[in-house]
Amino acid sequence: MFDFSTITTAIDQFLRDIMPSQAALLVECVLVALCAVLAYVMFAIVMIFMERKVCAAFQCRLGPMRVGPWGLLQVFADVFKMLIKEIISINNSDKVLYNLAPYLVVMSSVLTFCCLPFGEGLLVLDFNIGIFFIMAASSFGVLGILLAGWSSNNKFSMIGAVRSGAQMISYELSIGICLLTIVVMSGTMQISELVEAQRDGWFIFKGHLPAVIAFIIYLIAGNAETNRAPFDLPEAESELTAGFHTEYSGMHFGFFYVAEFMNLFIVAGIASTLFLGGWMPLHISGFDSFNTIMDYIPGVIWFLGKTFFVIWVLMWIRWTFPRLRIDQVVSLEWKYLVPIGLLNLLIMTLCVVMGWIF
């Protein structure tokens, strides 16, 4: 499989040949930041379009069709409309926190997005504590949501923010347990090493039943973490108008909107990385010809294919199940997912100690 580190190494060497090392490092940081933001925006556009079309398919309709062929330019038209909309200032709101909240949410989303391994050598951030960093970067997004609800001086926004904070903090525990289950199995927290460990088989197959259970719990908790149906109580339009971002307009609302879709992409990307092999192709022991053909498919295609498959499953869940009550959401986490996840972690640890992993 192609290793993108050959390209990045060549660019690094070229820059160091024509300028001082510190200046080259600065230029590299700027280039990486531009590429990361560009990729973030591009995937956000794809996600919004995919959400509309998948939703339409489940509801037996066509979705946006007027702007561009098959509605392909509808998202661009919406972005332009949002860019020229006025950002309304709310009376009696905390102006500093009100304006800061959307940026905190987007910063959390972008930082976590940069940890996704799109291909071999195509990682922005690859620490030896990568899983820990992902949990930390994704966690402070809830601060932006809480600040948005509190600073808006609106009771509906505040209720939505409190719901979102309680829900996200609770379900982060289940996500952490699932990630820890895979860390125990692999023996590393570094993203690139986690993917490399799946070269001879994806963890969802190598980890027996505990890996499958962890994958299912992760999908449920990840869906709740992104505040999507059936866990969309923080934005329940029938009760709270739009939840914590009711008082936001223009691009401030756009930041919340984009971050929500990209958080779905991030949840799916982490699932494909930890459970489905990341950029690693599908190999079947004994089928050498099949494995050789699979190796010809670029790692980027493998990663994006797995990620968008998980996204489609999560969208299927959203447009199938009705919204839960707040007591059902909390009970599901603390009475079922956490105990099952902890027991599953104990079983995985036992499997590793006894050498029962493939």
In a domain, 159, yes or no: yes
Q: How many CB atoms lie within 10 A of CB 2?
A: 14
Q: Are residues 161 and 273 in the same domain?
A: yes
How does the average pLDDT of the chain come out, rounded? 90
In a domain, 69, yes or no: no
In a domain, 65, yes or no: no
Average pLDDT over residues 335-341: 96
Q: What confidence score (pLDDT) does residue 305 get?
A: 96
Q: What confidence score (pLDDT) does residue 90 get?
A: 82
CA distance 201 to 285: 9
pLDDT of 17 higher than 70: yes
In a domain, 61, yes or no: no
Read off the pLDDT band of 92 (50, 70, 90). Answer: confident
In a domain, 207, yes or no: yes
In a domain, 72, yes or no: no
Q: Are residues 102 and 19 in the same domain?
A: no
Q: Are residues 32 and 105 in the same domain?
A: no
Q: Where are the beta strands (DSSP E) in the chain?
A: none
Q: Are residues 279 and 164 in the same domain?
A: yes
CA distance 91 to 98: 11
Average pLDDT over residues 87-110: 89
Average pLDDT over residues 291-318: 93
- Is 275:215 a contact under the CB 8 Å cutoff? yes
pLDDT of 287 higher than 70: yes
Q: Are residues 33 and 90 in the same domain?
A: no
In a domain, 26, yes or no: yes
pLDDT of 243 higher than 80: no
pLDDT of 44 higher than 90: yes
Q: Are residues 21 and 110 in the same domain?
A: no
Residue 270's nearest CA partner among 306, 301, 313 is 306
**Per-residue pLDDT tens over the stretch 67-91:** 989 899 999 998 888 888 888 888 8
- Number of domains within the chain: 2
Q: Are residues 143 and 3 in the same domain?
A: no
pLDDT of 226 higher than 70: yes
Which residue bears the tokens 């009760």? Answer: 239
Q: Which of 12-21, 110-119, 236-245, 252-261 has the lowest average pLDDT?
A: 236-245
> Percent of the chain having pLDDT more than 70?
98
Q: Are residues 2 and 111 in the same domain?
A: no
In a domain, 56, yes or no: no
Residue 259 tokens, joined? 């971050």
**Per-residue pLDDT tens over the stretch 264-283:** 999 999 999 999 999 999 88
What is the longest distance spanned by two Cα atoms in the chain? 69
Q: What confidence score (pLDDT) does residue 229 get?
A: 79
CA distance 39 to 29: 15
Q: Are residues 287 and 214 in the same domain?
A: yes
pLDDT of 185 higher than 70: yes
- The one-letter amino acid at 160: G
Helix (H) or strand (E) holding 345: helix 338-354
Residue 51 tokens, joined? 């959400």
Q: Are residues 19 and 157 in the same domain?
A: no
- Is 194:120 a contact under the CB 8 Å cutoff? no
Residue 70 tokens, joined? 């098959």
CB within 8 Å of 70: residues ≥ 6 apart: none
pLDDT of 1 higher than 80: no
Q: What confidence score (pLDDT) does residue 249 get?
A: 85
Which residue bears the tokens 């925006």? Answer: 41
CA distance 148 to 282: 43
CA distance 303 to 212: 19
Q: What confidence score (pLDDT) does residue 181 get?
A: 95
> Percent of the chain having pLDDT more than 90?
53
Q: What confidence score (pLDDT) does residue 344 get?
A: 96
Q: Are residues 106 and 191 in the same domain?
A: yes
pLDDT of 314 higher than 70: yes
CA distance 286 to 290: 9
By residue range, what is the domain housing residue 276?
Answer: 85-354
Q: What confidence score (pLDDT) does residue 358 get?
A: 64
Read off the pLDDT band of 34 (50, 70, 90). Answer: very high
CA distance 329 to 259: 22
Read off the pLDDT band of 166 (50, 70, 90). Answer: confident
Q: What confidence score (pLDDT) does residue 346 get?
A: 95
Q: Are residues 287 and 228 in the same domain?
A: yes
Q: Is 97 exposed, middle or buried (0-12, 13-18, 19+ CB in 10 A)?
A: middle
